[in-house]
Amino acid sequence: MAANAPIGVFDSGIGGLSVLRHIRACLPQEALLYFSDAHFAPYGGRPERQIEQRVLAIGALLAAHPVKALVVACNTATAAAIAALRRAYPALIVVGVEPGLKPAAAASTTGVVGVLATEATLASARFARLHETLSSATGVTFLPMACPGLALRIEQDQMYLPESIALLRRFVLPLLEQGADTLVLGCTHYPFVQQQIAAIVQDNAQRNVTIIDTGAAVARQLASQLAMQGLLRVEPAPSVDGLSSGSAADLERAFSRLLGLTVRVTQTEI
């Protein structure tokens, strides 16, 4: 595996850009290749087997470039398919994301944590194991809140519409009413509405509320894995390229709108 090979990052759509921005900040010398599976987005309501098939197809696409690491920048895809991806590509570094229950438990003073996530993430065996383990170990009560439709609205840049804010309030307010003092952003799309969530919290909470985004932790884990395997890029050549199963122009606009980057995106069929 070549140290100057790019790092592959992928998500069902634009949500993984919230992880990619942390990777760029942590590893500014690295080349990145981002794939958006926009044609099949969102993953949240899809069957687990279908998600696994898509993840393996994306893994094959990115491995063919080739990349030196794969970052599954999607909570739903991580829960459904990261084990299968690691079996398929044992020579590659494969880093996933998961809801930040552990840091949330450490941050909470009330012992009540709200978890905003997709239906598929909350229904996964991986989440169930993490939830049970940490509940038993810490005594913290985790309140899972499925957020159907939220990722799609973020994907479509609709989150400043009044009806979208109303939808977000329906997800956040019940958690605050039940005493949550910490909220976990359990989908990589959700950091792009963190400001809106913070505004809802400020208007309705009687206490300080911590919002947990695990993107920085993913970037640190990736950096650690690359360092251990001697794969950190020595000759800095930072670049970002994009691939999409949907509209290349839409992903280019998302890079510009969300990260302030001008990125060339190629549409690809898989």
Q: What is the pLDDT of residues 108-133, one digit of tens each?
A: 999 999 999 999 999 999 999 999 99
Q: Is residue 1 part of a domain?
A: no
- Told to judge if 187 belongs to the known catalytic residues of this protein, a careful annotator would answer yes
Residue 45's pLDDT is: 80
Amino acid at 98: E
Q: Give the type of residue at 26.
A: C
Instruction: Count Cβ atoms within 10 A of the Cβ of residue 230 and give its class: 0-12 exposed, 13-18 middle, 19 or more buried.
Output: exposed
Does the residue 202 lie in any domain?
yes
> Exactly one of 9, 51, 74, 168 is catalytic; which is it?
74
Q: Can the peptide bond before residue 42 be classed as cis, meaning omega within 30 degrees of 0? A: yes
Statement to judge: residues 161 and 203 lie in one domain: yes
For the stretch 65-109, pLDDT in tens is 999 999 999 999 999 999 999 999 999 999 999 889 999 999 999
Q: Is position 159 within any domain?
A: yes
> Do 207 and 220 share a domain, yes or no?
no
Residues 200 and 243 in one domain: no
Last residue of a domain, one of 194, 212, 230: 212
109 and 201 co-located in one domain: yes
Average pLDDT, the chain: 95
User: Which among 212, 234, 254 is the end of a domain?
Assistant: 212
Residue 200 maps to a domain: yes
* 7-34 tens-digit pLDDT: 999 999 999 999 999 999 999 999 999 9
Whether 78 contacts 88, CB under 8 Å: no
Q: CB within 8 A of 227, min separation 6: which ones?
A: none
How many other CB atoms are found less than 10 A from the CB of residue 103? 16
Q: 42-54: per-residue pLDDT in tens?
A: 888 889 999 999 9
Q: What is the pLDDT of residue 269?
A: 87
Task: Give me the pLDDT at residue 240, please.
Answer: 97
156 and 189: one domain? yes
Angstrom distance (rounded) from CA 247 to CA 250: 5
pLDDT value at residue 41: 85
pLDDT of residue 42: 85
Q: Which domain holds residue 221?
A: 7-97+215-267
| Catalytic residue (one of 80, 151, 187, 251) | 187
The pTM for the full model equals 0.94
**44 and 77 belong to one structural domain:** yes
- Note whether 121 and 193 are same-domain residues: yes
What's the one-letter identity of residue 142?
A: F
- Domain match, 35 and 63 both: yes
Q: Total domain count for the chain?
A: 2
Residue 2 lies in a domain: no
Residue 174 counted as domain residue = yes
Please indicate whether residue 147 is annotated as part of the active site: no
Q: What is the pLDDT of residues 183-218, one digit of tens each?
A: 999 999 999 999 999 999 999 977 799 999 999 999
pLDDT tens per residue, range 220-241: 999 999 999 999 998 888 899 9
Are residues 58 and 22 part of one domain? Answer: yes
Q: Does a structural domain hold residue 152?
A: yes
Asked whether residue 111 falls in the same domain as residue 157, the answer is yes
Q: Clarify whether residues 133 and 147 are in a common domain.
A: yes
Structure tokens at 66: 């080739």
In a domain, 53, yes or no: yes
Same domain, 80 and 117: no
Question: The domain that contains 154 carries what CATH number?
Answer: 3.40.50.1860
